[in-house]
Amino acid sequence: MLHISFTSQLSDRVSRCCCIIMKLEIFLSFLLLAVLTLGGEAIVQDSKSALLHGDVTISYVPTEKMDIASSTWKFDRNGEQITILTINGNSEYVYDSEFKGRLQKSEDSFTLTIRDLTMEDAGIYRIDFVQKNGKTISYSCNVTVYEPVPKPNIEKNDVRKTNDQCNFTLHCSVPSNISNLVYEWKYRDGNSAEYQPYHNGSTILLSLPLDHQDMEILCVVRNPVNATSSFIQVQEICKFSGSTPGRSHMAILISVLTLVLISLFIPIIFIRLTKKCEPKKEPKQSINEELNYIEVTTHRRDLIIPMEDAEYMGTPAPQKCKAETLYTMLQHPQPKHT
């Protein structure tokens, strides 16, 4: 069985605080709506959540047939009610310049859409319907605008591996100071297509058997209107602490094969290098090869060297004598034609 332990105390406290804050905001909004609408004949309360730069649609669904003479949309800004739209018959007028070009109402005036929301658009919107019989019905809606949730980062800490388990801590966070965020953890095995719920909270502590390292863990960060996620592979975490038994055997086998190949190639390389260093032997002449001879011709030439009539080293000059020079001429034999 897969054993998983969590740092649940801190995570649960953070989750509880976020939920309490969100519930408190809704309660205060309703309380403020009740105070603002004192003196009205009827009131309907509602709340909407919207994304920054998105749209929000505020709708009132009447419970009875209404013969409306006029309707007025108001917005509570810092405790002050500002009229933003008045509809009287076929005419309408937008009072606040910040809402011009961003409002769209339905034909029956029961629905108002606000586009391209800003953080300043968050607050309480109220519409007063004045019927021809003089009866007034008020409808109020609290609009909360949320920033998009940035992509979370997953940090791994305290990675330790024993003989049969890999222990580590994961912490999920977003690079901003956005409040009212909820952290959820999910997981799936290598062969599974869907994620299974894990635990809520920003930090978890896991202890997994080595045969579960094909698991993928997902961190989901959400607010009421937006969610983003990041995942991490358990194999990426535990491989720095050691290999699984199967991988160890594979590594040993690869090392042995490498040594065997090296031991086979070294003698071959040595023999080739030795042959290159040996002096080249002249090829022996075959006995069957035909011998080539050359003819030698001897010539004799007599030269008479004249001697000067003078004393030679104190002695009478020697008489003229003949000098003989022998030389030979080497000739290659002409090829024989057959």
The string of DSSP letters for 222-277 reads E-SS-EEEEEEEHHHHHTTT---HHHHHHHHHHHHHHHHHHHHHHHHHHHHHHHHH
Query: CA nearest 184: which of 171, 207, 170, 202?
Result: 202
Question: Is 106 part of any domain?
Answer: yes
Burial 227-249 (b: 16+ CB within 10 A, else e): eebeebebeebbbeeeebeeeee
CB atoms within 10 A of CB 153: 13
**Which sign, positive or negative, has the C-alpha torsion 19, 21, 26, 30?**
positive
Burial 272-298 (b: 16+ CB within 10 A, else e): eeeeeeeeeeeeeeeeeeeeeeeeeee
Residues 42, 140, single domain; the answer is yes
Residues 83, 169, single domain; the answer is no
Question: Is 92 part of any domain?
Answer: yes
Residues 104, 200, single domain; the answer is no
Residues 176, 224, single domain; the answer is yes
Residue recorded with tokens 């339905």: 106
CATH number at residue 221: 2.60.40.10
The pLDDT assigned to 173 comes to 94
- Total domains present in the chain: 2
Query: CA nearest 202: which of 250, 244, 163, 157?
Result: 157
Question: Is 322 part of any domain?
Answer: no
- Six-digit token string for 61: 């669904």
Residues 140, 85, single domain; the answer is yes
Residues of the domain holding 76? 37-146
CB atoms within 10 A of CB 259: 10
Residues 109, 163, single domain; the answer is no
The pLDDT assigned to 176 comes to 83
Give the span between the Cα atoms of 69 and 109, in whole angstroms.
11
Residue 107 · residue 86 · CB < 8 Å: no
Residues 225, 214, single domain; the answer is yes
Residues 68, 110, single domain; the answer is yes
Domain ends where: 238, 272, 292? 238
3-state class (DSSP) for residue 120: helix
Question: Is 272 part of any domain?
Answer: no
Residues 46, 139, single domain; the answer is yes
Give 10-residue mean pLDDT values along the chain (338 residues): 43 51 51 42 74 94 86 87 87 82 89 94 93 90 94 93 88 88 91 86 89 87 95 83 48 76 79 68 52 53 50 52 52 57
The pLDDT assigned to 299 comes to 54
Burial 15-31 (b: 16+ CB within 10 A, else e): beebeeebeeeeeebbe
- Six-digit token string for 140: 């109020």
Q: Which residues pair with 143 in a beta bridge?
A: 48, 123
Question: Is 49 part of any domain?
Answer: yes
Question: Is 101 part of any domain?
Answer: yes
Give the span between the Cα atoms of 134 and 111, in whole angstroms.
21
The burial of 322, by beta-carbon neighbours within 10 Å (0-12 exposed, 13-18 middle, 19 or more buried), is given as exposed
Question: Is 16 part of any domain?
Answer: no
Residues 214, 186, single domain; the answer is yes
Residue 155 · residue 219 · CB < 8 Å: no
Give the span between the Cα atoms of 121 and 124, in whole angstroms.
9
Residues 44, 82, single domain; the answer is yes
Domain ends where: 146, 166, 185? 146
Question: Is 252 part of any domain?
Answer: no
Residue 185 · residue 178 · CB < 8 Å: no
Residues 72, 121, single domain; the answer is yes
The pLDDT assigned to 58 comes to 94
Query: CA nearest 292: which of 336, 241, 248, 252?
Result: 336
Domain ends where: 146, 181, 205? 146
